[in-house]
Amino acid sequence: MKPLSPSPLKIILTMAFVVTCWGYSPTGIHIGLQAYDPGHLALLRFLIASGFMALVAVFRGIRLPALRDLPLLFGLGFFAVSLHHVAINFGQQGVSAGASSVLAQTTPLFSTLLARFVFKDRVTLWRWGCVLLGLIGAVIVVTGDHGLASIDAHGLLILLAAVSWSLYFALQKHHTGRYDGLTLVCYTVWSGTVLLLLFLPGLAEQVAIAPLRVQFAVVALGIFPSALAYLAWAYVLAHVDLSRATMTLYLTPPTAMVIASVALGERPTLMIVSGALVVLASVLALNLERKPVARVASV
């Protein structure tokens, strides 16, 4: 007997939850960086996420991975967790939360570049135009964040995080048929956390002296954007077409800007807003192409 589909309201509320969680992430990182260095923040965040995912796995049950899949699972963890979040943390030392959320949305643009130059797919002129437009928007955002004269490597590190996320999507295509969404998320989080243990020395000392406000922010980072949001997103993708579901993620940057405005007192400049519109328009146009060539696997 075919299971009943969830109500549209339940799907909408789940999507709103995902957008809110991922919209909080840049603000939580900025607060966390007040007491932790970037490597320690990434490790602590995902130690919390790993513990939470372990509880979920115990109650839901997941199967052990095949030994032949371990290299790819660690590859997923490296690109989705280790490299991605360390790069974001270092980048946000010099980039506002709002600008960071916009730059992180350039992932589909880099997926197109990977499709052409790594996987040798044919990329249409339309897609090349979208990539160029999106990169122009990213330059506008970086320039408008602190001014043209202050451009440094921090914005490039956020873009590196987007590239890392694109590589994660590319690797994930090899696993979509072997593991269900929950199992894949668990092993991605756990393997990425193992790789982050490189930053374990000195973490206990930073935890001991971090203010309570920072501790709450990091715990929220570990539970909501790093665990619950991924589970909720997997639930959405199980019931909604990927192209329709990803449209809701365009609400993440404005949500991040609102949260940063309230929690951090950030006020995005006109250039950041303009650049955000350019980036989001390019990604939207990329997904609206009737015959996409570079395909991205679901989270």
Query: DSSP letter string over 102-130?
Result: HHGGGHHHHHHHHHHHTS-----HHHHHH
Q: How confident is the model at residue 296 (pLDDT cuts 50, 70, 90)?
A: very low
Give Cα 9 to chain centroid, integer Å: 25
Answer yes or no: is pLDDT of 218 > 90: yes
Rounding to the nearest 10 degrees, give the CA dihedral for residues 165, 170, 175, 180: 50
Answer yes or no: is pLDDT of 292 > 60: no
Contacts of 142 (CB under 8 A, 6+ apart): 95, 99, 103, 151, 155, 275
What whole-number distance in Å separates Cα of residue 38 and Cα of residue 34?
10
Q: How confident is the model at residue 252 (pLDDT cuts 50, 70, 90)?
A: confident
* DSSP H helix total and E strand total for the chain: 15, 0
Percent of the chain residues topping a pLDDT of 70: 88
- pLDDT digit string, tens, across residues 50-74: 999 999 999 988 888 889 889 989 9
Higher per-residue confidence, 161 vs 177? 161
What whole-number distance in Å separates Cα of residue 86 and Cα of residue 96?
16
C-alpha to C-alpha distances, 174 to 55, 75, 82, 286, nearest whole angstrom = 26, 11, 20, 23
Residue 68 gets which letter from DSSP?
Answer: G
Contact between residue 250 and residue 283 where contact means Cβ atoms under 8 Å apart: yes
- pLDDT digit string, tens, across residues 167-216: 888 777 655 667 887 888 899 999 999 999 999 999 999 999 999 999 99
pLDDT score of 152: 65
Answer yes or no: is pLDDT of 43 > 60: yes
What whole-number distance in Å separates Cα of residue 235 and Cα of residue 251?
19
Least confident of 37-51, 80-94, 135-149, 199-213: 135-149
Answer yes or no: is pLDDT of 34 > 80: yes
Angle between helices 70-77 and 153-172 (to 10 degrees): 150
pLDDT score of 80: 92
Rounding to the nearest 10 degrees, give the CA dihedral for residues 100, 105, 109, 111: 110
Contacts of 92 (CB under 8 A, 6+ apart): 26, 29, 30, 33, 100, 154, 158
Rounding to the nearest 10 degrees, give the CA dihedral for residues 140, 151, 251, 298: 110
Least confident of 109-113, 118-122, 195-199, 280-284: 118-122
Backbone angles phi, psi at 61, to 5 degrees: 80, 125
Average pLDDT, integer, range 243-272: 85
Average pLDDT, integer, range 160-173: 85
